[in-house]
Amino acid sequence: MATCGKQRVYLYDTTLRDGCQSEEVSLTVADKLRIAQRLDDLGIDYIEGGWPGSNERDAAFFAEVKKLKLHHAKVAAFGSTRRANLKAEQDHNLELLLTAQTPVATVVGKTWDLHVKEALRISNQANLEVIADTIAYLKARVDEVIFDAEHFFDGFADNPEFALQCLKAAAEAGADVICLCDTNGGRLPDEIAAGVNAARAALSCTLGIHCHNDCELAVANSLAAVKAGARHVQGTINGLGERCGNANLVSIIANLELKLGCRCVGTEKLKLLREVSLVVYELANLAPLARQAFVGRSAFAHKGGLHVSAIQRNVRTYEHMEPKLVGNNRRVLLSDLAGRANIVYKAREFGLALDPDNEKIGLLLEELKRLEGEGYLYEGAEASFELVMLRALGMLERSYFEFVSFRVFDDKWHEEHAPFSEAVVVIDGPDGQRSRSSASGNGPVNALDSALRKALLPYYPTLEPMHLADYKVRVLDNGAGTAARVRVLIESTDGKLRWGTVGVSSNVLEASWQALVDAVEYKLYKDIAIPAVVNSPKGRLAVGAEL
């Protein structure tokens, strides 16, 4: 395995600037401050806060971030080289860059002669003077100056001599770090390595890498640069950024520490990786990517029975690393692909010591496959599966109530008024007495949920804090229109626990009812059945062992 020999690699996060250029991402000042704090906790070396003067939000961030008292990270302000027709001391943008009063200033400059000719419309020599004048001016006023060599790899491919001259101009003017940028994200790992090697041969200062993900190679290109000698890596948390995004620092950090043997955040802080990833998703108002490498919910999820059987013997058979190293967890999924190993593994998660040779496992597998054939999905509804398993194993024989009927009314009395929903639920309680309860709600499902719990509260007061936390409907029969079967997934919570249940029917209210009943029965099972077993002389695990 190629390594960087335990050498130190410095991490530069640009989530708060480049990441904010991502479509549908807009962070408030408070959001940016919270992210900055978590990046510092993670051990990021540089936090790029934005472009001073470009907007009021970035200006406010630089004013407020000084109050955070970061323990590790240095804050960097970002800007561009001076205008071609001005001296550095005359350039208003450089003046604004200095007003941020950060210990680090990062400036981007052209290194591709195509941009010099077409965008700046100046000579190559004039561009070298722009770079040198800007870096020298900033270095005299700021502790550390980083030069982002924009489009370096494209420039190196077209005119390598000029691209390297731009780097030398920055280095000779005093740049502490020269960061080579694959700004268009179109280069391959071998091209990145060649560019870094050429820069190393020409310069003695620290080299960095800044990649974009337009060919889905930003992480691979960043690692290729490190292996070629770059010791400063720029990126964003979760790969946020313009177009297809920036290099994903989450994956880069994990690969540097665990695959290349580099030193960046250390093993203890590496465990914060998933948590920081989720915080950024939450503040950016984006759904976490389940299949994201290392930290995604599915990154260490196992579904096939063969895989689950193997990992019970040795997790290395189907996992490239231990999930807990990056703050993640191993998950075993339940589906019609499940085998006996899946059932035994899940039983262990539920606290049941189930004998792998138990004949009831076969019956449970058949029931599981039958139900999934009808459209039930237990990957997001493990509470429903636990109930199915307990019933099949004969461990949940009692019923907490008997269903008699329900009716739902939806009325809209005026065009300008919202619809009105009311549900009536009739049940037989555990004492055999029949009761009828009604409740209104914000929609028919909410009304059903309220009416059911209203009927049960006199018997089971612990249902009081329970409520729906999420509700999803999926159409199962494409082309069937309004006659299609639907699957309803419900998440419920009591303020402490959160659990998922499922229902399937061609009637959305019937599917919702199934999921609601499972949610209530699961809550009652946890509140009543488990304490009864745990407090028994044998205890819950002993009961499981007898199966």
pLDDT digits (tens, 9 = 90+) for 194-252: 999 999 999 999 999 999 999 999 999 999 999 999 999 999 999 999 999 999 999 99
Task: Kindly state the tokens that stand for 465.
Answer: 């804090």
Q: Is the pLDDT score of 3 beyond 60?
A: no
What residues are paired with 435 via a beta bridge?
427
Q: Which residues contact 168 (CB under 8 A, 6 or more apart)?
A: 202, 203
Q: Which residue has the tokens 């159409």?
A: 475
What are the beta bridge partners of residue 74?
46
pLDDT of the residue at 379: 67
Please list the residues that pair with 385 across neighbouring strands. Answer: none
pLDDT tens-digit readout, 379-430: 668 889 889 888 887 777 667 899 999 999 988 887 877 788 999 999 999 9
What count of other Cβ atoms lies within 10 Å of the Cβ of residue 473? 12
One-letter amino acid of 479: G
Between CA 224 and CA 208 the distance in angstroms is 12
Compute CA distances 85 → 70, 89, 126, 199, 232, whole Å. 38, 12, 10, 29, 32
Q: How far apart are the first and last CA of the chain?
A: 47
Total H helices, total E strands in the chain = 20, 16
How far is 517 from 522, CA to CA, in rounded Å?
8
Helix, strand or coil, per DSSP, at residue 37: helix
Q: How many CA atoms lie within 13 A of 519 on its CB side?
A: 33
Query: On the CB side of 289, how many CA atoms lie within 13 Å of its CA?
Result: 15
420: β partners = 411
Going by C-alpha positions, the residue among 97, 49, 98, 109 that lies closest to residue 73 is 49
Instruction: Using the structure block, give the residue that is written with the tokens 């059945």.
Output: 529
Which of the 8 DSSP states describes residue 301?
Answer: E
Report pLDDT digits (tens) over 108-130: 999 999 999 999 999 999 999 99
Query: Tokens 């200095």 appear where?
Result: 98
- Mean local confidence (pLDDT), 457-470: 92
Task: Please report which confidence band the pLDDT of residue 264 belongs to, taking 50, 70 and 90 as the band edges.
Answer: very high
The reported pLDDT for the residue numbered 538 is 41
Encode pLDDT of 8-39 as tens digits: 999 999 999 999 999 989 999 989 999 999 99
Q: Which domains are delineated in the chain?
A: 10-262 (3.20.20.70), 401-459 (3.30.160)
Instruction: Tell me the pLDDT band of 372, cut-offs 50, 70 and 90.
Output: confident
Per-residue confidence (pLDDT) for residue 105, from 0 to 100: 98
Angle between helices 29-42 and 56-65 (to 10 degrees): 50
